[in-house]
């Protein structure tokens, strides 16, 4: 037994040595194996893989002399947050394919590669490094806030342009190379409180939030502090955690006992769908009010949409909006991935188009180095105006925050209607 362990350990050590070498720099074997695999799995990228293979040998280290822009994406595609990462991956791929079909950025096509981070900051940094080895020039990511903060540290060190579609916590864009498409958490919390107060939606409000989630607790805190200036009262504020999100009877019971007319849900739609169904079982019928995380609730497969009747949400995107851009996007997305896109998908789609717009404004070329490109993009981002899925006339300022108006929508008869 012990002797064999020695043999085994020798074998394993050599395996590591081999893998280290394979992972190193410009090793052909590693890079090509990667490409071969992504070719089989990612049909959408199939048209680009042949160019990738040729580029890899020269471009990995300094990403020059490549015939295409290399944009990387990071987000969870496995693990319990996979639903957000997959949406971003799909929508970004869709946008990239559209742009490439229309001639690319400044006539140069885009290569897009998405890496999984399992919603873990450490894995996210690994994913970032993998993409750097691939020769990434700009980063569209990461999807979740915690990872985004960790990766922003690296991108700012490398001076790489970063645009996060959905990293909403304040620290995601604290460096000047980082921008975001979604609203920031404080922004949403304050906007929600103002909306409820100014439109006199309710006078007594209960909050149910996820205290273990950055997004949710960020919105909650700002909501509470803004509520002090508004003509309504918070009568109950109850939390749940990532490990305890199946039963919401207590939180709902407390809201009901406190006589709340409105329940504010700064959470994601997965939990919200459970809250709605449990409230209905309890016979509690307040107004439910949510933020952009709630978008997607109508598209939960097999969800009884009558439960969501009357739910209000502040969201920049609604999958059944009537405008042409949204319709086109939703149809294309459904056709390709068989799902209705959620707000994350819309953010990612806009992110890719924002990169395109800024790239054209800055006149970037693929042979620029990462840092020069970042400088050019940084300036250009503040100069563009984008009509996207998540807002018309979006602009960015140097802080990285987008300027766009949240839309308040209400669910009536199973569809969103603007208020």
Partner 1 sequence: MKKWKMTKTAKNNFVTYIIVLIAYIVVQILLKSGNMSSLMEGLLVPLCIYVMLAISLNLTVGILGELSLGHAGFMCVGAFSGAFFSRCMDGVMPNGIRFFIALLIGAAIAGIFGILIGIPVLRLKGDYLAIVTLAFGEIIKNLVNVLYIGKDNNGFHFSMKDSISLHLGEEGQVIVNGAQGITGTPHDASFTVGIVLIFLSLFIILNLINSRDGRAIMSIRDNRIAAESTGINITKYKLMAFSISASIAGVAGVLYAHNLSTLTALPKNFGYNMSIMILVFVVLGGIGNIRGSIISAVILTLLPELLRGLSDYRMLIYAIVLIAMMLFNWSPKAVEWKDKLKEKYFSNISFRKEKEVK
Partner 2 sequence: MSFISYLINGISLGSVYAIIALGYTMVYGIAKMLNFAHGDVIMVGSFAVFTIVSTLGLPPVLGILVAVVICTVLGMAIERVAYKPLRNASSPLAVLITAIGVSYLLQNVALLIFGANTKSFTSVVAISPLKLADGQLMISGETIVTIIAGIVIMVCLTLFVNKSKAGQAMLAVSEDKGAAQLMGINVNGTIALTFAIGSALAAIAGVLLCSAYPSLTPYTGAMPGIKAFVAAVFGGIGSIPGAMIGGILLGIIEILGKAYISSQMADAIVFAVLIIVLLVKPTGILGKNIQEKV
Q: What is the DSSP letter of 394?
A: E
Site for partner 1 in 35-54 (CB under 8 A): 35-38, 41-42
Is the CB of residue 289 less than 8 Å from the CB of residue 383?
Answer: no
- Asked whether position 253 contacts partner 2 by CB under 8 A, the answer is yes
- Asked whether position 44 contacts partner 2 by CB under 8 A, the answer is no
Residue from the set 69, 128, 240, 349 that interacts with partner 1 by CB under 8 A: 128
Residue from the set 48, 97, 118, 295 that interacts with partner 1 by CB under 8 A: 118
Residue from the set 105, 163, 178, 214 that interacts with partner 1 by CB under 8 A: 214
Site for partner 2 in 260-319 (CB under 8 A): 269-271, 273-274, 277, 281-283, 300-304
- Between CA 180 and CA 335 the distance in angstroms is 28
The one segment of 77-85, 281-289, 297-305, 333-341 that binds partner 1 by CB under 8 A: 77-85
- Between CA 262 and CA 195 the distance in angstroms is 13
Question: Residue 417 corresponds to which tokens in the numbers above?
Answer: 């209607």
Q: Which is nearer to partner 2, 226 or 238 (CB)?
A: 238
Nearest to 88 by CA among 219, 220, 224, 180: 180
For 289, phi and psi rounded to 5 degrees?
A: -130, 130
- Asked whether position 86 contacts partner 2 by CB under 8 A, the answer is yes
- Asked whether position 194 contacts partner 2 by CB under 8 A, the answer is no
Nearest to 273 by CA among 251, 292, 246: 246
Alpha carbon 191 to its chain centroid, in Å, reads 20
Q: Given the DSSP bridges, would you call strands 110-116 and 138-141 parallel, antiparallel or unpaired? A: unpaired
Query: What is the nearest approach in angstroms of partner 2 to the Cβ of residue 355?
Result: 25
- Between CA 36 and CA 368 the distance in angstroms is 27
Buried b (16+ CB within 10 A) or exposed e, 3-40: eeeeeeeeeeeeeeeeeeeeeeeebeebbeebbeebbe
Which residues lie across from 240 on neighbouring strands? 210
- Asked whether position 289 contacts partner 1 by CB under 8 A, the answer is no
Assign 115 to helix, strand or coil. Answer: strand
- Asked whether position 77 contacts partner 2 by CB under 8 A, the answer is yes
For 135, phi and psi rounded to 5 degrees?
A: 110, 25
- Asked whether position 338 contacts partner 1 by CB under 8 A, the answer is no
The one segment of 16-24, 62-70, 347-355, 361-369 that binds partner 1 by CB under 8 A: 16-24
Q: Which is nearer to partner 1, 12 or 282 (CB)?
A: 12
- Asked whether position 55 contacts partner 1 by CB under 8 A, the answer is no
Residue from the set 87, 94, 95, 125 that interacts with partner 1 by CB under 8 A: 125
Q: Which is nearer to partner 1, 145 or 326 (CB)?
A: 145
349 makes contact, choosing from partner 1, partner 2, none, with CB < 5 to 8 Å by partner type, with none
Residue from the set 105, 149, 311, 408 that interacts with partner 1 by CB under 8 A: 149
Assign 261 to helix, strand or coil. Answer: coil
Question: Residue 409 corresponds to which tokens in the numbers above?
Answer: 């929508």
Cis peptide before 142 (omega within 30 of 0): yes
- Between CA 90 and CA 95 the distance in angstroms is 9
Cα radius of gyration rounded to whole Å, the chain: 23
382 makes contact, choosing from partner 2, partner 1, none, with CB < 5 to 8 Å by partner type, with none
Q: Which is nearer to partner 2, 230 or 236 (CB)?
A: 236
Which residues contribute to the site for partner 2 (CB under 8 A)? 1, 77-80, 82-83, 85-86, 211, 238-241, 243-244, 246-247, 249-251, 253-254, 257, 269-271, 273-274, 277, 281-283, 300-304, 339
Which residues contribute to the site for partner 1 (CB under 8 A)? 1-9, 12-13, 15-17, 19-20, 22-25, 33-38, 41-42, 60, 77-79, 114-116, 118-122, 125-130, 132-133, 146, 149-150, 152-153, 169, 171, 210-214, 217-218, 220-221, 224-225, 241-243
């Amino acid at each position: 037994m012990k002797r064999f362990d020695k043999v085994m350990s020798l074998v394993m050590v050599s395996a590591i040595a081999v893998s280290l070498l394979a992972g190193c720099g410009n090793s052909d074997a590693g890079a090509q194996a990667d490409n071969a695999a992504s070719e089989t799995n990612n049909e959408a990228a199939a048209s680009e893989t042949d160019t990738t293979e040729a580029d890899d040998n020269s471009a990995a280290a300094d990403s020059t002399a490549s015939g295409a822009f290399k944009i990387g994406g990071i987000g969870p595609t496995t693990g319990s947050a996979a639903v957000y990462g997959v949406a971003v991956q799909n929508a970004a791929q869709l946008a990239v394919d559209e742009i490439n079909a229309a001639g690319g950025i400044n006539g140069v096509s885009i290569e897009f590669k998405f890496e999984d981070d399992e919603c873990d900051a450490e894995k996210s940094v690994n994913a970032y490094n993998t993409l750097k080895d691939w020769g990434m020039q700009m980063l569209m990511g990461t999807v979740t806030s915690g990872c985004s903060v960790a990766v922003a540290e690296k991108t700012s060190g490398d001076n790489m342009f970063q645009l996060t579609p959905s990293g909403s916590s304040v620290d995601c864009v604290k460096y000047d190379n980082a921008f975001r498409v979604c609203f920031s958490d404080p922004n949403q919390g304050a906007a929600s409180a103002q909306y409820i107060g100014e439109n006199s939606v309710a006078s007594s409000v209960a909050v149910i939030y996820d205290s273990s989630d950055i997004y949710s607790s960020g919105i909650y805190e700002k909501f509470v502090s803004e509520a002090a200036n508004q003509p309504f009262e918070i009568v109950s504020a109850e939390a749940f955690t990532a490990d305890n999100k199946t039963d919401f009877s207590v939180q709902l019971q407390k809201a009901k006992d406190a006589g709340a007319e409105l329940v504010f849900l700064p959470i994601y739609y997965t939990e919200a769908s459970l809250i709605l169904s449990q409230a209905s079982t309890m016979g509690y019928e307040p107004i439910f009010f949510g933020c952009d995380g709630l978008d997607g609730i109508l598209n939960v497969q097999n969800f009884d949409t009558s439960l969501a009747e009357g739910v209000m949400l502040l969201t920049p995107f609604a999958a059944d909006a009537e405008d042409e851009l949204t319709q086109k996007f939703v149809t294309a997305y459904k056709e390709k991935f068989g799902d209705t896109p959620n707000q994350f998908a819309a953010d990612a789609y806009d992110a890719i188009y924002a990169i395109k717009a800024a790239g054209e404004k800055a006149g970037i070329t693929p042979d620029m180095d990462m840092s020069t490109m970042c400088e050019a993009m940084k300036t250009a981002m503040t100069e563009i105006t984008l009509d996207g899925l998540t807002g018309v006339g979006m602009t960015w300022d140097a802080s990285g925050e987008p300027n766009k108006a949240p839309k308040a929508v209400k669910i009536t008869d199973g569809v969103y209607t603007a208020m």
